[in-house]
Structures are given as C-alpha cells and as structure tokens.
Amino acid sequence: MDPTIERRILFLIDAAKFEEKRDQVVTYAMRVLSNHAAIGKDGGSREIKQLNRRVSAEARKLLMSVDIDTYCKETINEHPKPLKVTWDWLKKNAHSLSKEEVWAEFQNNPMVTITKKEDEGIRERGQNSTGDMQSRYLDQGIDIVHLDRSPKELSPS
C-alpha cells in the first residue's frame, strides 16, 4: 500500500474512534482517498473529470458531442456511496477495521462522473447523502460505463 494512502487511512480510523462528528479535515482525507481510488492520485474536480473513466452513459454521450471544457462544466464528480455513509460505516467499525479493509471500501466505491441533470435527479429523490450505487444510479436508470481511455483523450477537441 502506498505510504500516503496508508497514513490517510490510519488517520481516518483514529478519527472515527474518537471524533463524534465528521469535520472538514476528515472530509478532506476521505476525498483524497476517493480521488486516489478513482484516478490513482489526488486532484481537483476538473482533473478528475478529465481522467475518470467511470462515467454515466449520459456523461459519455455529452463527452462525445462537446469539447472538454463544456464536458467539465456540465458534469459533476459523484461518490456512489456518499461520504456520510462511508463515515458512518467507519464510526461503527473503527475498532475492528484494518487499513486494507478501509482502502477496499474506497476502491469498491470509486467516484463516478455524471451529468449535472442526473445529479439534480439524485438530489430531488433525497439521496444526496444516502444510498449506494444500486439505489442512487441503477434503480433510477443511470447506467455507469467504463471508458477505454480518459475523457481528456476521447474528447473531440
């Protein structure tokens, strides 16, 4: 395991044991781990959108019809398992989790890039902080696809 990832995970496990609420430091550590699980490194929103190969079918359709700047403006990076749900899992199991189990949780729930319209639908259904891949996407007709190359490489311009 990469030493940076290991340190972030050990911090999260420790915080989950002793912190009642998820503060900004915990949230940021979770986002960094999520970024590593999605694209293999930390990065900002735009960079993740340009590199993330897990996208909705609608985001792929958008990507193939617009330039990369428009694609980045019209999409959002989403956690299929919201960070609140992951934090609750960490809190409940902090005293028994290994760093490998925590890392597997992030790897098994990698970030997905979806359209802003699809994100609005998730929010309208009240699932912005609840649910999982099945209830948030698949049950709502949001299909997730894996691109053979990054959006940046596939963009028509």
Q: Does the pLDDT of residue 101 top 90, yes or no?
A: yes
Which of the four pLDDT bands, split at 50, 70 and 90, describes residue 107?
A: very high
119-144: average pLDDT: 90
**What is the residue-averaged pLDDT of the chain?**
95
Number of structural domains in the chain? 1
pLDDT at 135: 87
Note down the domain range covering 130: 3-154
Q: By C-alpha distance, which of 145, 150, 142 is closest to 116?
A: 142
Which of the four pLDDT bands, split at 50, 70 and 90, describes residue 128?
A: confident
Buried b (16+ CB within 10 A) or exposed e, 12-24: bbebbeeeeebee
What does the DSSP 8-state code read for residue 95? T
pLDDT at 73: 98
pLDDT at 132: 85
* pTM beyond cutoff 0.85: yes
Q: By C-alpha distance, which of 21, 16, 2, 140 is closest to 78?
A: 140
